[in-house]
Structure 1
Amino acid sequence: MQPDPSRGRPDHNIAMWGAPGSGKTTLLAALYTALTRSDDGWKIVGSDPASSDYLIERTNDLLRGKVFPEASMALERYHWTLIGPPPRRTGFWGRKSRQAEPPRIGIGMIDAPGGLFGTGQRTAGGPSGPDPSEDPRRQELLDNLEQSRGIVFLFDPIREFTFGDAFDHMYPPLNRLAERMLATGGFTDGKLPHHVAVCVTKFDDPRVLETAEARGLLTTDDDDPYRLPRVAGDDARELFHELSQVSATGSADMVLKTLEQFFHPDRIRFFATSSIGFYVDRRTRCFDWDDFQNMVPGEADEDSRIRGQLHPINVVEPMLWLGQRLAATRPAKGVS
């Protein structure tokens, strides 16, 4: 009997999106650690050999090498699958029945160096040169977004403070995506059909943590033995708003406004995320406000190192939230 190829396909697809250096690669590398420590039965595997190799190498960089993944030097196309625990079917009289297929969530990432997907200018041949929007690599990004119904959008407040370019990397692809879906009937109620998890990254950075503390947004998880600070629920949206006020260009507030203009507000959720988490002394095994930085800065960004163990914060949660929301909705026609 020939194997059924559909059995290995994800039930839903999630696309990763954000400016260069916003932390997409680091978040994915930390996802393995976060899933393993969550002990809830979910795992991440590569959907092809190149993606598996990439995940293994980047995870080893974080766990063993204590270094962050290097910036992209070429176009990257990778796909992974989140596989959950198989739900058990119960028959008559409470008897256990055959296990159902475990849920699968596909994760796709297309990234490139130099901000290829941001606001582009026509350079070859001057104003009459090639339109950058026709670059086939940009089309791959749009294909990935169009075929997904879940998006992980990463917002790096530290990069925004320095460069102020989050809006530049969001609006052009978003407008092109809306153009496509309007033409194919996917914009029927005036909104795009996607669910969006907005990850405010680098929560471990003192500037981000102190902003959350000053606004009274911090809490702790009763089940967390380390008592690491977190920002829960709707407070993450407020943190995003506060951090967007220090944008280098003053355009970060347009990110939130544009997201809510193009997507259903009840399909957007914010998360305060850290891929490496806070430093925890192995003896005290508890968060210490006087000694919590887990990143040791270098003279250049690529020289930065990770100080201690990884304690990812809100790395798994955006993926599983998207998976749950997508599972509760009927997939769009033609979308796997």
Structure 2
Amino acid sequence: MSADFYDPNKKSSGGPTTSSAGGPAASAEPAPPPIPPPAGAPAYPVQPPLPPVADGNLEPLRIPTAPQGEGAAQDRVRIGLWGAPRSGKTTYLAALPIAAMQGRRHSPHNWLISGMTPEANNFLGDSVSQLAVRRVFPQATVGIQNMSWAFQGEVAPSGMMRHRTQQVSFVLEIQDASGEVFKRDHPQHQGIVDQLARAQGLIYLFDPLGDAQELTESLTFFYSTLNELSTRIRDMGGHYRGRLPHHVSVCVAKFDHPDVFRPSVEAGWVTQDTVGSQLPRVPAQLSERFFQWMCDDFRGSNARLVRDGLANFFHPDRISYYATSAIGFRLNPQHVFDYRNYVNEEIVDGVRRICTSPEPINVLEPLTDLEHNIRTARAGRKGWRR
């Protein structure tokens, strides 16, 4: 006759009884020793004690979310950053947190930017340290770097509710790619085209200085990407009224550089604020014509093809134009612009350095305007469906 199998769930007749309250009943006799398993039962090894808790009594960490409880996939805004090598894409992103902090001095809007990941927060922190404290330019990006930032803003709406501020929050997914990636024969070229195809908005940095050089000429890194992007959107069935569906911010970069700024002043495109730091700028109502002039008269035939390509592939009502500077102009000790000494870059021991604290111009606006236009287009589609 074989031995009975050990059943760990079977109560022993000699074990302790329980009270009506669920606890062990009082007994004058001590509890009997545990009954060893009968012969043939599996022997389980003794488990080691659990390791001590490393984080003490800290609360469990939840996943990062956007402010005000948003951040679902449909509320995220994907923005692609596009430009030739040395057009200033990384410096543009690095200037965003500074522009946000200075925003209340130049507009009625207020924006808070925070990273959705530790890596994104590190980028923001390093950017402020490099530009504002150490006053050096960030290293150019190698390959493709993806980041997610949460934006929380208080904006002044237009229309009948103009006296009331509006709370806006969104998550921005943006990629910073080296300019070489936009060249057709680069091994990561298909990857960047995929990312641009998934984006709802594009920031295109046009560098008037680099465009004059063969290795960084805008058209070299522009048309092949634009053509493949259109093919990808066509295969996805995503064209909008026969053109690409993206909203686009076209930024004429390095507006502060004397080789760009001085000709713009002499051609009559620049006005100057009369209050605060009295910063120069191209008025918003002239920015599209300023870009046309930059391509027609300042740069040349290849730049005109870039301009024509943008007008051909994107709807004109979805394109906005800006004269942009990531570091702004040098200001005098009274923090006021002086046309006699406005260059904010110098060479110290062979290293490019920023002379005074950066005052970014039209860095945040191309991004927040894109988000507003995308959000408005989404609301329009929902209203049409109803």
> Shift of residue 246 of structure 1?
4.7
> Shift of residue 314 of structure 1?
0.7
Please say which structure displays the higher CA radius of gyration. 2
Letter in 1 for 2:183: G
Closer, same or farther: CA 146–73 of 1 in aligned 2, 3 Å? closer
Alignment map for 1:78-227 (pairs within 5 Å): 78-85=147-154, 102-112=168-178, 115-120=180-185, 135=187, 137-163=188-214, 165-222=217-274, 224-227=275-278
Pair 1:290 & 2:290 matched: no
Contact persistence 1:234–1:270 (CA under 8 A):
no
Report percent identity of matched pairs: 32
Closer, same or farther: CA 79–143 of 1 in aligned 2, 3 Å? farther
Counterpart in the other structure of 1:66: 135
CA distance in 2, matches of 1:271, 1:243: 12
Counterpart in the other structure of 2:97: 32
Of 27, 46, 52 in structure 1, the residue corresponding to residue 115 of structure 2 is 46
SS at the partner of 1:42?
Answer: strand
Of 8, 12, 27 in structure 1, the residue corresponding to residue 71 of structure 2 is 8
CA distance in 2, matches of 1:105, 1:322: 13
> Shift of residue 140 of structure 1?
2.7
- TM-score normalized by structure 2? 0.71
Instruction: Give the length in aligned residue pairs.
Output: 303
CA distance in 2, matches of 1:208, 1:242: 12
Closer, same or farther: CA 143–83 of 1 in aligned 2, 3 Å? farther
CA distance in 2, matches of 1:102, 1:181: 29
SS at the partner of 1:187?
Answer: coil
> Shift of residue 330 of structure 1?
1.6
CA distance in 2, matches of 1:299, 1:157: 27
Of 311, 315, 333 in structure 2, the residue corresponding to residue 260 of structure 1 is 311
Q: Which has the higher contact order (CA 8 A, sep 6+)?
A: 1
Closer, same or farther: CA 225–111 of 1 in aligned 2, 3 Å? same
Of 346, 360, 381 in structure 2, the residue corresponding to residue 312 of structure 1 is 360
Unpaired runs of at least 5, structure 2: 1-61, 157-164
CA distance in 2, matches of 1:139, 1:299: 39
Counterpart in the other structure of 1:17: 82
Letter in 1 for 2:134: G
Letter in 1 for 2:77: H
Runs of 4+ in 1 over 6 A off after TM superposition: 2-6
CA distance in 1, matches of 2:248, 2:233: 16
- TM-score normalized by structure 1? 0.81
Letter in 1 for 2:346: V
CA distance in 2, matches of 1:162, 1:279: 26
Letter in 1 for 2:364: V
